[in-house]
Amino acid sequence: MSLHLPARRLLRPAGSPLLTTSFLAAPSTLPLRHSPSNHLHQPQCPQRQQHRGIKWWPSQKPSKKPTSSDPFSQMDADPALRRKAQGKSPTVSSTDVEAAQEKFQSQVTGGGIFDTEIAEADSERKRRKERGGSGVPMGASSSQAMMQQQAEGGGQSSDMGSETIDPENSKLYLDPDPRARVRWERKKVIQMVRKGGRTTREERIRISERKIMMRSPYFFTSVKKLGALTRQIAGKTVDDALVQMRFSKKKFAKHISRHLELSKNMAVAKKGMGLGKATGEAPLAKPVEIETKKKPGMSGMQPMKKKLVITDPTRIYIDEAWVNKGSYYTSRIYRHGRGMKSLWKTPSTSMTVVLKEEKTRMRQHRERQIKQIKAKPWVHLPDKPVTAQRPYYSW
């Protein structure tokens, strides 16, 4: 005969009448993991399981790095955590204490991560000053040199005229190839000696007159459509051309207008064109009337001339305007019947303008007048003997 009791009967308190003396010693004979004393003093950790990676591909290897969620891997990596899990106090070595003290001392004193770089720059500046330099690194700009001088002088701003720049620092970008510069200067001196100080006509024109050439980005239009607009503005002043493009119905008139505005601004900023009134240049005593060069007319028409009245010789006008053909771009595929298809290609075209001042047109008009005055009269039959007379035709 055997006695079968459920587990809850074994865990009843000692005063229960159902428990006998034979069952009172049962808790002492239980396994270690069910002992109350061990439950209070020893941490319960889950059993360590073996993690294996899943090989999805033949070349992939299972991961050997411990995951952050595994408590045993964290204990293996951190000895202090392992001592804490075992109920022991973590031991700290003397080297760890010294390192922590040094770190705290550096934070208190205000040290930064760039202390070494700053110290090296200060030492380099001191060495340059001892050698007689300005203390500014080679290749630095004049603004950087001025800021350095102000910092060394206590923040006091110095006069730009009295600023001293070390020539050794500016040689790198002002004279990158000294030998080539010396050869070019020697060549120009020899040319001046040979010419005796005389200048050619092209050189005199470049000295006295200004011009600028500007090319636009490519527009998605054809040469035929853009060429009509360029012929419309060629020969007009920039202001008149902008008015024409403003009231034009063409699609790319606004693009040409933007390009003309940009070209005008660049001419003023880079070449100093159109600044006669601002710079105080001597204006004309009275308006000058000129005649433009003959332009080929339409089919069945004579070449046209145009009379202009110039009051400001520095006024900017469009001397030339032409178009440049670009490459074709494929925009989409056009489907046809019976399974046929074709590519829809979009052309690209750019525009180039040459801006000059009215001084150029005045000079050209004066040269045409002088040429017309010096021209000899046309003779129908020249006064010279007839040669090679024969009694038969020569052709």
Q: How do residues 7-52 score in pLDDT, each as one tens digit?
A: 555 555 555 444 444 444 444 444 444 444 444 445 555 555 555 5
158 pLDDT more than 70 = no
Q: How far apart are CA 99 and CA 386, in angstroms?
A: 118
322-346: per-residue pLDDT in tens? Answer: 999 999 998 889 999 999 999 999 9
Higher local confidence (pLDDT), 143 or 184: 184
**Percent residues over pLDDT 70 in the chain:** 62
Domain shared by 186 and 285, yes or no = no
Higher local confidence (pLDDT), 77 or 282: 282
pLDDT at 224: 97
Residue 391 domain-assigned (yes or no): no
Residue 271 domain-assigned (yes or no): yes
Residue 347 domain-assigned (yes or no): yes
Mean pLDDT of the chain: 76
Mean pLDDT, to the nearest integer, of 149-176? 63
Residue 284 domain-assigned (yes or no): yes
Find out whether 53 and 67 touch, Cβ atoms under 8 Å.
Answer: no
- Structural domain including 325 reads 210-374
Please give the tally of structural domains in the chain: 2
Tokens at residue 31, please?
């396994």
Domain shared by 199 and 237, yes or no = no
Residue 21 domain-assigned (yes or no): no
Residue 189 domain-assigned (yes or no): yes
Domain shared by 268 and 198, yes or no = no
CA 11 to chain CA mean position, Å: 81
Domain shared by 296 and 254, yes or no = yes
- Domain-terminating residue out of 187, 208, 229: 208
Residue 33 domain-assigned (yes or no): no
108 pLDDT more than 60 = no
pLDDT at 172: 79
Domain shared by 337 and 203, yes or no = no
Mean pLDDT, to the nearest integer, of 272-289? 86
Domain shared by 306 and 203, yes or no = no
Tokens at residue 267, please?
């001419």
Confidence of residue 5 (pLDDT cuts 50, 70, 90): low
Domain shared by 255 and 369, yes or no = yes
